[in-house]
Structure 1
């Protein structure tokens, strides 16, 4: 009987530890997303793939591309200005828009 109680206590203790580890993983995932955004390397505007520039012209015809950057996943960060507003857009190398 003592072995049964001890086994149940060990199993319940293990589940509690696993739950605590999962809760701690959430902020780490958020930090990974923030690092991913910071992992972009600036490139020349001429280096942006034609598919990305065409997608920009189609979606935002009045946008002016000021800066461009790329990460290891071949995702492009485009800093654009439309009128007096400036912001960043993200696209993959085929011109498909990505939300970051």
Structure 2
């Protein structure tokens, strides 16, 4: 009887040793579309068009946005490459 109990204890102890903790790792990517209070406009001032034409020959204006500070965010295409340019109302390029 002692051998039976001892065998059962060894068997159960051996099974518990096979249990393993698994570590799960997950990666979460959060993206935020932040527009800085820009609103889409249909047309931009002529000064902006002229400065973009001077800076980027062959530029095509796709979309234009303006914020409360009269700063423009302009989506352009130059030679097939899309880009975003920030300007002020007088056509000075703030950020490329």
Normalised TM-score (structure 1): 0.58
1:39 maps to 2:41? no
CA RMSD of aligned residues (A): 2.1
Equivalent residue in structure 1 for 2:50, among 54, 57, 71: 54
- Alpha-carbon spacing, 1:94–1:64, altered in 2? closer, same or farther (3 Å): same
Normalised TM-score (structure 2): 0.60
**Count of aligned pairs between the two proteins:** 65
**Tell me, which stretches of 5 or more residues in structure 2 are unaligned?**
1-31
Equivalent residue in structure 2 for 1:84, among 70, 80, 84: 80
Q: 2:46 and 2:54 mapped to 1: Cα distance?
A: 12
Q: 2:82 and 2:33 mapped to 1: Cα distance?
A: 22
